[in-house]
Amino acid sequence: MSSIAVKKGFASTVWEYLTTVDHKKIAHLYLGAGGFFFLLGGIEAMFIRIQLMKPQNNFVNEQLFNEIMTMHGTTMIFLAAMPLLFAFMNAVVPLQIGARDVAFPFLNALGFWLFFWGGIFLNLSWFLGGAPDAGWTSYASLSLRSEGHGIDFYTLGIQISGFGTLMSGINFLATIITMRAPGMSFMRMPLFTWTTFIASSLILMAFPPLTISIFFLMFDRLFGSAFFDVTMGGNTIIWEHFFWIFGHPEVYILILPAFGIFSEIIPTFSRKRLFGYSSMVFATILIGFLGFMVWAHHMFTTGLGNVANAIFAVATMAIAVPTGIKIFNWLFTMWGGSIKISVPMLYALGFIPSFVMGGVTGVMQAAAPLDYQLHDTYFIVAHFHYVIIGGVVFAILAATHFYWPKMFGKMLSEKLGYVTFAFFFVGFHMTFFVQHFLGLMGMPRRVATFLPNQGFDLYNFISSMGAFFMAIGVIVLLVNVVVTSLKKERVGNDPWQDGRTMEWALSSPPVYYNFKQIPLVRGQDTWWIEKMEGKDELTPSEPLQDIHMPNNSIIPFFIALGLFIAAFGAMYNPLNSVGDGHPMGTVVLILGLALMFGSMLVRSIRDDLGYYIPKEDIENDAKGGKVS
Amino acid sequence: MKKWCLFLSLLIVALILTACGEPFLSTMKPAGEVAEKQFDLLLLSTGIMVLVVVVVVIIYLIVLIRFRRKRVGEDKIPKQIEGSHKLEFIWTVIPIVLLLILAVPTLLQTFELGNVSGKEKVDKDGNRENLVVNVRANLYWWEFEYPDLGIVTSQDLVVPTDERVYFNLIASDVKHSFWVPAAGGKMDTNTDNENYFYLQFDSEKADEAGNLFYGKCAELCGPSHAYMDFKVKAVPRSEFDEWVKAMQNFEETEPTTAVAQQGKEIFENSCIGCHAVTPDNSTPANARIAPNLADFGNRTTVAGILPYTKENIKKWIQNPGDIKPGNLMYDSENFSDEELDALAEYLMSLKAQN
The domain that holds A241 is classified in CATH as 1.20.210.10
Residue A577 has pLDDT above 60, yes or no: yes
Q: Are residues B208 and B272 in the same domain?
A: no
CB contact residues (below 8 A), chain B span 202-261, against chain A = 214, 216-226, 229
**Residue A592 confidence (pLDDT):** 96
Residue A4 has pLDDT above 70, yes or no: no
In this structure, what CATH number is given to the domain that contains residue B307?
2.60.40.420
Range of the domain at B304: 258-348
Contact A334 B63 (CB under 8 A): yes
Neighbouring CB atoms inside 10 A of A4's CB total: 10
A538: DSSP letter: P
Q: Which residues of A touch B79 (CB under 8 A)?
A: 272, 336
Is the Cβ of B306 closer than 8 Å to some Cβ of chain A? no
Q: Is residue B251 part of a domain?
A: no
Total count of domains within chain B: 2
State what percent of residues in chain A have pLDDT above 90: 92
Contact B106 A447 (CB under 8 A): no
Evaluate whether A516 touches A177 at the Cβ level (below 8 Å): no
Q: Are residues B219 and B274 in the same domain?
A: no
Q: Which residues of A touch B226 (CB under 8 A)?
A: 62, 444, 447-450
Best interface-test mutation with A: which of B6, B188, B301 has the largest number of A CBs within 10 A?
B188
Best interface-test mutation with B: which of A339, A346, A526 has the largest number of B CBs within 10 A?
A339
Residues B336, B339, B344, B347, CA torsion sign: negative
pLDDT, one tens digit per residue, over A305-356 is: 999 999 999 999 999 999 999 999 999 999 999 999 999 999 999 999 999 9
CA B286 from centre of chain: 24
Total count of domains within chain A: 1
Q: Are residues B187 and B272 in the same domain?
A: no
By Cβ distance, the residue of B69, B188, B325 closest to A302 is: B188
What average pLDDT does this structure show over A138-167?
A: 94
Evaluate whether B199 touches B166 at the Cβ level (below 8 Å): no
Q: Are residues B230 and B273 in the same domain?
A: no
Q: Is residue A15 part of a domain?
A: no
What average pLDDT does this structure show over A407-435?
A: 96
Say how far apart CA A196 and CA A216 lie, in whole Å.
30
Range of the domain at A64: 24-179+186-553+608-623
What average pLDDT does this structure show over A423-432?
A: 97
**Residue B2 confidence (pLDDT):** 62
Contact A273 B27 (CB under 8 A): no
Residue in chain B closest to A425 (alpha carbons) equals B5
By Cβ distance, the residue of B52, B57, B177 closest to A376 is: B177
Q: Is residue A573 part of a domain?
A: no
Q: Are residues B276 and B152 in the same domain?
A: no
Cα B341 to Cα B297, B317, B338, B348, B354: the distances in Å are: 15, 10, 5, 11, 21
Contact B185 A366 (CB under 8 A): no
Residue B215 has pLDDT above 50, yes or no: yes
pLDDT, one tens digit per residue, over A480-492 is: 999 999 998 899 9
Q: Is residue B141 part of a domain?
A: yes
Q: Is residue A502 part of a domain?
A: yes
**Residue B306 confidence (pLDDT):** 94
Contact A442 B25 (CB under 8 A): yes
**Residue B19 confidence (pLDDT):** 63
pLDDT, one tens digit per residue, over A183-230 is: 999 999 999 999 999 999 999 999 999 999 999 999 999 888 999 999
Cα A408 to Cα A483, A499, A515, B236: the distances in Å are: 13, 17, 17, 73
Residue A169 has pLDDT above 50, yes or no: yes
Say how far apart CA B228 and CA B304 lie, in whole Å.
7
Is the Cβ of B8 closer than 8 Å to some Cβ of chain A? yes
Closest CA to A301 of B28, B184, B304, B41: B184
By Cβ distance, the residue of B28, B67, B87 closest to A339 is: B67
What average pLDDT does this structure show over B241-270?
A: 90
By Cβ distance, the residue of A235, A278, A373 closest to B185 is: A373
By Cβ distance, the residue of A236, A367, A455 closest to B191 is: A236
Contact A141 B191 (CB under 8 A): yes
- Answer with the residue of higher pLDDT: B106 or A3: B106
Is the Cβ of B334 closer than 8 Å to some Cβ of chain A? no
Q: Is residue A416 part of a domain?
A: yes
pLDDT confidence band for B253 (50 / 70 / 90): confident
Q: A1 CA to chain B: closest CA distance, Å?
A: 43
pLDDT, one tens digit per residue, over A526-568 is: 999 999 999 988 999 999 999 999 999 999 999 999 999 999 9
pLDDT, one tens digit per residue, over A72-122 is: 999 999 999 999 999 999 999 999 999 999 999 999 999 999 999 999 999
By Cβ distance, the residue of A321, A353, A373 closest to B181 is: A373
State what percent of residues in chain B have pLDDT above 70: 96
**Residue A624 confidence (pLDDT):** 61
By Cβ distance, the residue of B8, B192, B218 closest to A236 is: B192
Q: Is residue B17 part of a domain?
A: no
Query: H/E element holding B216?
Result: strand B212-217
Say how far apart CA B353 and CA A367 lie, in whole Å.
44
Q: Are residues B144 and B215 in the same domain?
A: yes
Residue B289 has pLDDT above 90, yes or no: yes
- List residues bridging with B198 in a β-sheet: B166
Contact A62 B325 (CB under 8 A): yes
> Which ipTM did the prediction report?
0.93
pLDDT, one tens digit per residue, over B74-124 is: 888 899 988 899 999 999 999 999 999 999 999 999 999 999 999 989 988
By CB atoms closer than 10 A (0-12, 13-18, 19+), residue B27 is buried
pLDDT, one tens digit per residue, over A237-289 is: 999 999 999 999 999 999 999 999 999 999 999 999 999 999 999 999 999 99
